[in-house]
Amino acid sequence: MKSSSRVSSNTVNSMVLGLAASSSQQVQKSSMALFGGLLGQYQKRRLLFTFEDSNNNNNNHNNNKVASNKVNPWLESMRASSPPRINPNNNNNQDDHNKNNSWIVGHPSALKMFDEIMWKSKAKKVVVFLDYDGTLSPIVADPEKAFMTKKMRATLKEIAKLFPTAIVTGRCIDKVYEFVRLGEVYYAGSHGMDIKGPTTKGRNHHKGNNEAVLFQPASQFLPMINQVYKILVEKMKGIPGAKVENNKFCLSVHFRCVEEKCWPALAEQVNSVLKEYPKLKLTHGRKVIEIRPTIKWDKGKAIEFLLESLGYGNSNSVFPIYIGDDRTDEDAFKVLRSRGQGIGILVSQIQKETNATYTLHDPLEVGQFLRRLADSKKACSRQT
Ligand X SMILES: O=P(O)(O)OC[C@H]1O[C@H](O[C@H]2O[C@H](CO)[C@@H](O)[C@H](O)[C@H]2O)[C@H](O)[C@@H](O)[C@@H]1O
Q: Binding residues for ligand X, per CB under 6 A?
A: 131-134, 139-141, 143, 146, 169-171, 245, 247, 252, 254, 256, 285-288, 290, 326, 328
Residue 59 CB, nearest approach to ligand X (Å): 20
Query: Distance between CA atoms of 116 and 108, rounded to whole angstroms?
Result: 11
Residue 320 CB, nearest approach to ligand X (Å): 17
| Nearest CB to ligand X, comparing residues 81 and 246 | 246
SS3 182: coil
Q: Which residues, including other chains, have CB under 8 Å from residue 341's CB and lie 6 or more apart? A: 316, 318, 319, 320
Q: Taking each helix axis from N to C terminus, what angle separates 9-22 and 263-274, rounded to the nearest 10 degrees?
A: 120
CB 270 within 8 A of CB 258: no
Q: Taking each helix axis from N to C terminus, what angle separates 263-274 and 222-236, rounded to the nearest 10 degrees?
A: 150
CB 189 within 8 A of CB 250: no
Annotated catalytic residue, options 53, 95, 131, 133: 131
CB 168 within 8 A of CB 131: yes
End-to-end CA gap in the chain: 60
Kind and range of the H or E run holding 165: strand 165-168
Residue 180 CB, nearest approach to ligand X (Å): 11
| Nearest CB to ligand X, comparing residues 245 and 268 | 245
Our answer to whether residue 96 is catalytic in this structure is no
Minimal CB distance to ligand X: which residue? Answer: 170
| Nearest CB to ligand X, comparing residues 158 and 298 | 298
| Nearest CB to ligand X, comparing residues 137 and 341 | 137
Residue 286 CB, nearest approach to ligand X (Å): 4
| Nearest CB to ligand X, comparing residues 247 and 349 | 247
Q: Which residues face 208 on adjacent strands?
A: none
Residue 126 CB, nearest approach to ligand X (Å): 21
- Residues with a known catalytic role: 131
